[in-house]
């Protein structure tokens, strides 16, 4: 191979020009400009990890170490499902929200809340102003329940109920909790959350959480006496976390009821469950619950502290809801088929059916990540069409589809609606590594957007009458929520109305 001394003067000049351009590109005033859409955990962690990775590896990759991240969020406040999905009584939530807030308190991350991609800004606005756009748009809607009777009055998707109890800015403000017998469908943590909030004592919930007044009043009026949680597979195939199960065990005034047969596991199932640490721990905890339920029954129907129980919470494994039965257009019962589950999770129908009277049904069978205008949606996997986080031109031919340069996805938008908040960090690491790698190969050190004026986006938004809420605005909301909470001896009290959030953010 020819060394540089033997290269033609013309070729040498091209190399020199290139190097000059790179040096110019990476000079201190020419930071990389990244737009992140969605200020949930995936968007916040990715912003942080991008800046850190760039500091560590940017020089070596010829990218410099400086970047500015503009983080766009459609809601007036940040944190996505951490604020509007995670159940209010989860003890870890405060810690996570605090950590996300600290991350945002960074001069290189600029928060633009109340700015919706697809409505207030588009790809045509972002691509001339940013070197890359990273979608972290998460999920807000339910997967539909596809059984007869799913359209009856009294059937609710978990997502809408979660929005209500978490005070989502555009969510319902009233919720009909007038059913005495309630069914919840689902074998994961969201089903557990929904069932727990339906069994919660209002005073207990109020003192330990940030729930707003309308939710407290709603839960106080809840008439539920019996709740049936249906899990279509067996004890060893559920997807509950141990923490969720422990929270279920400690519900004041609630007796847990199990079906002994569900716990009759064969040797192969037990052995298989032991292979995965999390599954083993979950099964062990479920057996603890079995013992608790037996004691609660033997003691005459009591809760975990031995107090008389006002409510019964039934856990049904190997029970697949196949239809919701109505009367006068309203839910009257749920029809459940008994199933059997093999050690490897294969489910067999038994043809044995039971109708259980209920007046409300909640389904928590999965979320559906949001689609994004201008980006292909992969319906089969319910994600933005992507390959390792690089956005694809189309979903139809999978990884064979062309990668669209400068566009990326992370979090639930990339992986689908599975995984805890922590997993958005590992996603972020992968995507950021891919982004930096791509930048290092594009011949311009990643600096490809022609408009490099950071104020350009502000002018554009102002010209459209869009008034973004920044980090300082969020801090004003947070301070108000803390002050309101303190008046009642609580740490926080959530503000729900979007106009009030905006007003507080503006300091009015
Ligand atoms: C009901 C429920 C309970 C959960 N409980 C727990 C738990 O207890 N512990 C745990 O670890 N994990 C929990 N999870 C999982 C956790 O919430 C997710 O892992 C995590 O929130 C995914 O992060 P994300 O940033 O990808 O998505 P999200 O949290 O959904 O954030 C996406 C953000 O993008 C914004 N956005 C969407 N579209 C646009 C647009 N067009 N323009 C601008 N912004 C947009 C959204 O408003 C949102 O703020 C729970 C999930 C659910 C659904």
Q: Whose CA is nearest to atom 52 of ligand 1?
A: 85
Residue whose token pair is 């973004």: 468
Q: What's residue 3's pLDDT?
A: 37
Q: What's residue 208's pLDDT?
A: 86
pLDDT tops 80 at residue 12: no
Ligand 1 pocket, 367 CB below 6 A?
Answer: yes
Tell me the average pLDDT of the chain: 92
Residue whose token pair is 């507080």: 504
Ligand 1 pocket check: which of 71, 85, 112, 194 to mutate, most ligand atoms within 8 Å of Cβ?
85
pLDDT tops 70 at residue 485: yes
Dist. CA 216 → ligand 1 center (Å) = 24
Q: Whose CA is nearest to atom 1 of ligand 1?
A: 85
Cα distance between residue 505 and residue 363, in whole Å:
35
pLDDT tops 70 at residue 16: no
pLDDT tops 50 at residue 18: no
Q: How far is CA 456 from CA 128, 129, 268, 451, in A?
A: 10, 8, 63, 8
Q: What's residue 397's pLDDT?
A: 63
Contacts of 309 (CB under 8 A, 6+ apart): 253, 254, 255, 296, 301, 302, 303
Continuous segment of H or E residues that includes residue 360: strand 360-363
If you average pLDDT over residues 422-446, what whole number do you get? 93
Ligand 1 pocket, 364 CB below 6 A?
Answer: no
DSSP collapsed to 3 states, 224-264: CCEEEEECCCCHHHCECCHHHHHHHHCCCCEEEEECHHHHC
> Rounded to the nearest 5 degrees, what angle is found at the Cα of 348, between the Cα atoms of 347 and 350?
140
Whether the Cβ atoms of residue 467 and residue 499 lie closer than 8 Å to each other: no
Q: Whose CA is nearest to atom 14 of ligand 1?
A: 420
Dist. CA 51 → ligand 1 center (Å) = 22
Length of the chain: 508
Dist. CA 379 → ligand 1 center (Å) = 19
Predicted TM-score (pTM) of the model is 0.92
- Looking from the CA of residue 44, the nearest atom of ligand 1 is 25
- Strands 377-378 and 383-384: what pairing? antiparallel
- Looking from the CA of residue 422, the nearest atom of ligand 1 is 11
Q: What's residue 27's pLDDT?
A: 60
Band (pLDDT 50/70/90 cuts) for residue 443 is: confident
pLDDT in tens, 135-184: 999 998 999 999 999 999 999 999 999 999 999 999 999 999 999 999 99
pLDDT tops 60 at residue 10: no
Tell me how far apart the terminal alpha carbons of the chain are, to the nearest angstrom. Answer: 69
Dist. CA 369 → ligand 1 center (Å) = 9
Q: How far is CA 495 from CA 164, 418, 492, 502, in A?
A: 12, 28, 9, 10
Band (pLDDT 50/70/90 cuts) for residue 24 is: low
Contacts of 329 (CB under 8 A, 6+ apart): 152, 153
pLDDT in tens, 346-373: 999 999 999 999 999 999 999 999 999 9
- Looking from the CA of residue 139, the nearest atom of ligand 1 is 30
Dist. CA 83 → ligand 1 center (Å) = 8
pLDDT tops 70 at residue 51: yes
Ligand 1 pocket, 362 CB below 6 A?
Answer: no
Q: What's residue 36's pLDDT?
A: 98
User: Going from the N-terminus, what domains does the chain have, and what CATH number goes with each?
Assistant: 32-139+369-467 (3.40.50.720), 144-365 (3.50.50.60), 470-508 (no CATH)
Band (pLDDT 50/70/90 cuts) for residue 6 is: very low
Whether the Cβ atoms of residue 75 and residue 36 lie closer than 8 Å to each other: no
Q: Is 477 left (phi over 0), alpha (psi -120 to 50) or beta?
A: alpha
Number of CB atoms found within 10 A of residue 135's CB = 27
Ligand 1 pocket, 33 CB below 6 A?
Answer: no
Describe the strand order of the beta sheet including 319-327 as a list of residue ranges: 319-327, 330-341, 347-357
Contacts of 445 (CB under 8 A, 6+ apart): 22, 25, 26, 62, 63, 64, 439
Cα distance between residue 53 and residue 30, in whole Å:
18
Contacts of 74 (CB under 8 A, 6+ apart): 38, 114, 115, 116, 117, 119
Whether the Cβ atoms of residue 255 and residue 296 lie closer than 8 Å to each other: yes
Ligand 1 pocket check: which of 36, 38, 90 to mutate, most ligand atoms within 8 Å of Cβ?
38
Cα distance between residue 384 and residue 484, in whole Å:
39
Is residue 309 classed as helix, strand or coil in its secondary structure?
coil
Q: Where are the beta strands (DSSP E) in 175-223?
A: 181-185
Dist. CA 137 → ligand 1 center (Å) = 8
DSSP states of 23-64:
HHHTSTT--EEEEEE--SHHHHHHHHHHHHHHHHHHHHHTS-
Dist. CA 144 → ligand 1 center (Å) = 18
Q: Whose CA is nearest to atom 50 of ligand 1?
A: 86
- Looking from the CA of residue 38, the nearest atom of ligand 1 is 34
What percentage of the chain carries pLDDT values higher than 90?
87
Q: What's residue 90's pLDDT?
A: 85
If you average pLDDT over residues 256-265, what whole number do you get? 95
Cα distance between residue 441 and residue 62, in whole Å:
10
Ligand 1 pocket, 58 CB below 6 A?
Answer: no
Ligand 1 pocket, 421 CB below 6 A?
Answer: yes
Residue whose token pair is 């005495």: 180
If you average pLDDT over residues 109-120, what whole number do you get? 98
pLDDT tops 80 at residue 14: no
Q: Whose CA is nearest to atom 45 of ligand 1?
A: 38
Cα distance between residue 408 and residue 387, in whole Å:
9
Dist. CA 452 → ligand 1 center (Å) = 31
């Amino acid at each position: 191979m020819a060394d540089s001394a033997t290269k033609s003067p013309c070729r040498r000049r091209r190399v020199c020009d290139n190097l000059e351009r790179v040096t110019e590109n990476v000079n201190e005033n020419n930071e990389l400009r990244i737009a992140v859409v969605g200020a949930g955990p995936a968007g916040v962690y990715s912003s942080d990890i991008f800046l850190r990775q760039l500091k560590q590896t940017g020089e070596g990759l010829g990218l410099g170490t400086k970047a500015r991240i503009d983080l766009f969020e459609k809601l007036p406040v940040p944190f996505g499902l951490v604020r509007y999905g995670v159940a209010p009584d989860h003890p870890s939530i405060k810690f996570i929200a605090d950590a996300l807030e600290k991350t945002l308190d960074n001069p290189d991350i600029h928060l633009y809340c109340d700015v919706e991609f697809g409505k207030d800004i588009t790809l045509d606005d972002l691509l001339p102003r940013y070197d890359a756009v990273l979608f972290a748009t998460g999920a807000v809607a339910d997967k539909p329940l596809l059984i007869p009777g799913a359209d009856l009055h009294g059937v609710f998707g978990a997502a809408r109920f979660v929005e209500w109890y978490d005070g989502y800015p555009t969510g319902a403000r009233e919720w009909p909790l007038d059913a005495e017998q309630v069914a919840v469908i689902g074998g994961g943590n969201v089903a557990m959350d929904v069932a727990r909030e339906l069994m919660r004592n209002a005073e207990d919930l109020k003192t330990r959480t940030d729930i707003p007044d309308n939710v407290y009043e709603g839960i106080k009026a809840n008439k539920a006496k019996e709740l049936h949680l249906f899990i279509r597979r067996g004890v060893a195939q559920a997807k509950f976390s141990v923490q969720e199960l422990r929270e279920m065990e400690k519900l004041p005034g609630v007796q847990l009821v199990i079906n002994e047969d569900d716990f009759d596991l064969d040797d192969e199932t037990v052995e298989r469950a032991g292979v995965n640490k999390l599954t083993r721990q979950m099964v062990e905890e479920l057996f603890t619950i079995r013992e608790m339920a037996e004691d609660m029954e033997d003691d005459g129907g009591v809760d975990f502290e031995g107090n008389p129980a006002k409510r019964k919470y039934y856990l049904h494994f190997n029970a697949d809801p196949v239809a919701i039965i109505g009367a006068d257009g309203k839910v009257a019962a749920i029809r459940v088929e008994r199933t059997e589950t093999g050690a490897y999770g294969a489910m067999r129908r038994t043809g044995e059916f039971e109708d259980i009277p209920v007046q409300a049904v909640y389904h928590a069978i999965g979320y559906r990540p949001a689609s994004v205008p201008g980006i292909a949606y992969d319906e089969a996997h319910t994600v933005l069409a992507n390959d390792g986080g690089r956005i694809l031109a189309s979903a139809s031919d999978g990884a064979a589809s062309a990668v669209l340069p400068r566009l990326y996805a992370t979090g639930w938008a990339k992986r689908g609606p599975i995984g805890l908040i922590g997993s958005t960090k590992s996603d972020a690491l992968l995507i950021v590594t891919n982004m930096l790698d791509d930048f290092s190969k594009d011949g311009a050190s990643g600096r490809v957007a022609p408009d490099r004026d950071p104020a350009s986006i502000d002018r554009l938004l102002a010209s459209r009458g869009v008034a973004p809420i920044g980090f300082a605005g969020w801090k004003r909301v947070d301070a108000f929520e803390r002050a309101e909470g303190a008046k009642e001896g609580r740490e926080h009290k959530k503000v729900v109305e979007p106009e009030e959030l905006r007003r507080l953010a503006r300091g009015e």
